[in-house]
Structure 1
Amino acid sequence: MESISQPPVTRGFGLASAGAWTGSSRRDRLRGLLPPLIAWLVSNLITWLIAAHSVAGDGSRVAYWSTAGRRRWDSEHYLSIAKTGYEMFRCRDRYPDFPDVTCGNVAWFPGYPMAVRAVSSTGLSYEISAVFVTEASLLGMFAVLWYLLGARLTWATGLTLAIGVVFPGGVYFHAMFPIATGTLALLVCTAGVKRGSWGMAAAGGFLAAACHLVGAVAVGMLLLSALFAWRRDARGVRIAKAVGSAAIAGCGVLWAKWLMWQATGRWDAYEAIQESSYQQSGVRQPFDEMRHAYAFPFSEWYRPQGHLPWLVEHSLSAHRTQLWLNGAFFLLVVATAVVLLIRNRRLGADEWAALILTVAIFLLPFFAGAEMSWYRNHAQMFVGLVLVKHMSRWVQVPLLVCCSVQYALLASMFFAGVLV
């Protein structure tokens, strides 16, 4: 009799336990989403407060919650790609008084504008769709970073997430630019390497390369991944996964060039406009480029007229302290990796990926020439936060303070209309 009645009791107990476990697991997962969500909300709050104190010279305030507050220079090109696609033409054909150079929007990659176009198909305006893609990407950035940090709240991971909220150049994570989308793609690529997911790594690399030329650094990282990732596979399989994922990531650049060729009939449309209009071709001398970037006279070229509030007045040359801070962050990430290698004699696959990407992102603008845009390209070093969690609190706290001050200065420079 006991043998007959016992199983139902056991089954009932098992079902109750499974239900309790499922409910607890669901609550844990929801609780795990709170840190990245809070980070995203705080990031918007801080940026809104800075924008509110960035009064233009004519006394007008910046409407952070409007689309106009998120648009700067290149934003117009990304929106034009989303609306009508690519075009390239001789400037004087449309503007008789313009210098005889090449005009158009083929100097900008299609990943972000195509995402904007897809969202706009819901009926939203292109401008609102652009802000939606940007903010959704930023929320995704915090979520993937949180996963890479272990999704467990400690002093180390909490401070790392806080640094991410005020990351150098992070004001462009809120603007109509592909910086947030491209950074999310790099983080997804890194997560794919960590998980041993060849498809995820390849997809992240493709989107990163399709969003911005800087994102093409994922191709090199994936090629090198044969040396530090895919450890469960045989050597030949590891090489195949590394080469295959790098090839797919490289197709992001090929897709961009194909779209440009379809619209202009020229495979070299990107290179042509870069050389003609922006004098960017070939490999530059990196130290000369750093010097030019540091000395660029933003405050003289785009200084707002009239009275300027204290924050704006003291931020007109914030790109100079930005370069120092970016250099310090780059060196700290490299030093942390060296310490981990000496102490543990190894790095995790995601840590190798983050190290390679951080080094490449920091150096690329100075080899390619990015005198007026390196500060927003460097924002994609956000992926280096994977290694920041290993830093001592004595390093993390001063880094957080420095990043907070610099974020306020550069964001004020952005909202005052000084940055491009």
Structure 2
Amino acid sequence: MTGSIASVLRRDRRRFLLPPAVAWLVSNLITWMVAKASIAGDGSSVAYWSTAGRRRWDSEHYLSIAKTGYEMFWCRERHPNFPDVMCGNVAWFPGYPMVVRAFSATGLSYEISAVIVTELALFGMFAVLWWVLGGKLSWATGLTLAIGAVFPGGIYFHAIFPIATGTLALLVCVVGVKRGSWGLAAVGGFVATACHLVGAVTVGMLLLSAFFAWAKDPLPVRWAKAAGSAAIAGGGILWAKWQMWQATGKWDAYEIIQKSSYGQGGLREPFSEMAKAYAFPFSDWYRPKGSLPWLVEHAQAAHQTQFWLNALFVLLVLVTAGVRLVRNRRLSTEERAALILTAGIFLTPFLAGAQMSWYRNHAQMFVALILVRHMPRWVQAVLLALCAVQYALLGAMFFSGVLV
């Protein structure tokens, strides 16, 4: 009898994991096809499966943190012809590099460890999303997973970047709120903020959770859980700054390098920043030389279509939430949490002036797929088609070396 129950549980587990596993495999297959179409030469099929194919610009900083920790110095101390600004890797958060460092204890290289951590996090994203969706296959949930496989900016879910790890942490935070587990929500928030500045949106969401979560608890307990989980989530930023202070002796190392090298610091007026981001072509940073593959040639202005798609996505999510409020008079706990996070993630890079990275920051709006399942099927189908086209365009820019 016990063996029979265990057999059923194993079958149920395999049945549950099958849809997210298929979504993960399809996402990798599509990304490989984009890479193959984006890189000239016979070795194009190798690029995606190699660690070099997953490394772009900031990846080097994350790897350096994993290998040797933080450093900050005047650029001219090592590079005489460089502008008189600060250099180093303290502009990047330690959550993802520390996970990579821990995984490298298996004996694998840092580069391979970084790719495995990223792909495991992506599979975890699909699995957690599938659980939140109820774990039952239907047109609504199937289309939602399909959109997730080609999510806007999702090319970075496969790269040596913290985007997949941070997004998984955001989803875990939502699950904690949904289940009434303030500890799980706090851990998810802590990891999200330790991975990326965008993760700080969990602090605001958790504070607001006193108004829509922990419904079984008395009001003082609800506020205590909301404030406590938000404080622990915010501790991810303090831990990041402590890591930087240990290496540089400066608590404000992050702010120093952001201001000196990137002209960032303080809050910006978001709408003017949106206009700047829209007007600034990614290809001004780097344009591949020689004859370009068709997909790369037609992707050079993909930042504009990316912006419109991201804005459309947020609008559709807001409308979906509004319709559900009118019809049902309420949103579920996880839907409210996802809605708050989505709005925060969309605005954060523009408030911070992230002109060169908003498109990958916005990939963490993946959490909004919790609401996408409630969109009409034809809207989901159109959104899937738009996301697939844009995924190919942004992917072409990534694999051709245009994106940072």
Which TM-score band (shorter chain)?
A: over 0.9
Unaligned runs of 5+ in 1: 1-15
Moved over 3 A (4+): 18-22
**TM-score of the pair, normalised by structure 1:** 0.94
Deviations 1:305-332 (A, max 9, x none): 1111111111111111000000000111
Of 20, 26, 29, 1:42 maps to 26
SS at 2:47's partner residue? coil
- Output the amino acid matched with 1:372: M
* Separation in 2, partners of 1:79, 1:50: 25
- Output the amino acid matched with 1:121: A
**In the alignment, what sits opposite 1:181?**
165
* Separation in 1, partners of 2:36, 2:52: 14
Of 269, 273, 284, 2:253 maps to 269
* Separation in 2, partners of 1:254, 1:374: 23
* Separation in 2, partners of 1:268, 1:372: 22
**In the alignment, what sits opposite 1:342?**
326
SS at 2:136's partner residue? coil
SS at 2:38's partner residue? coil
Of 196, 212, 215, 2:199 maps to 215
The answer to whether structure 1 residue 139 and structure 2 residue 123 are counterparts is yes
Measured after TM superposition, the shift of residue 59 of structure 1 is 7.8
SS at 2:202's partner residue? helix
* Separation in 2, partners of 1:334, 1:302: 36
Match runs of 1:212-361 below 5 Å: 212-361=196-345
**In the alignment, what sits opposite 1:105?**
89
Deviations 1:114-165 (A, max 9, x none): 0000011111100001001100000000000001111110110000000000
SS at 1:100's partner residue? coil
SS at 1:103's partner residue? strand
Of 150, 155, 161, 1:166 maps to 150
Measured after TM superposition, the shift of residue 282 of structure 1 is 1.2
Measured after TM superposition, the shift of residue 257 of structure 1 is 0.2
Give the fraction of aligned pairs with identical amino acids, expressed as a percent.
74
Of 78, 98, 105, 2:62 maps to 78
- Output the amino acid matched with 1:118: A
* Separation in 1, partners of 2:281, 2:388: 24
* Separation in 1, partners of 2:57, 2:9: 46
SS at 1:63's partner residue? helix
Q: Name which one, 1 or 2, has greater alpha-carbon Rg.
A: 1
* Separation in 1, partners of 2:77, 2:4: 71
Measured after TM superposition, the shift of residue 19 of structure 1 is 4.9
* Separation in 1, partners of 2:256, 2:92: 12
**In the alignment, what sits opposite 1:381?**
365
Of 89, 112, 118, 2:102 maps to 118
Match runs of 1:386-397 below 5 Å: 386-397=370-381
Deviations 1:88-123 (A, max 9, x none): 011111111110001110000000000000011111
**TM-score of the pair, normalised by structure 2:** 0.98
* Separation in 2, partners of 1:416, 1:375: 16
- Output the amino acid matched with 1:25: L
Unaligned runs of 5+ in 2: none
* Separation in 2, partners of 1:275, 1:83: 25
* Separation in 2, partners of 1:105, 1:362: 25
- Output the amino acid matched with 1:398: V
RMSD of the alignment, in Å?
Answer: 1.2
* Separation in 2, partners of 1:280, 1:334: 30
User: Aligned residues, how many?
Assistant: 403
SS at 2:395's partner residue? helix
Measured after TM superposition, the shift of residue 22 of structure 1 is 4.1
Measured after TM superposition, the shift of residue 21 of structure 1 is 4.3
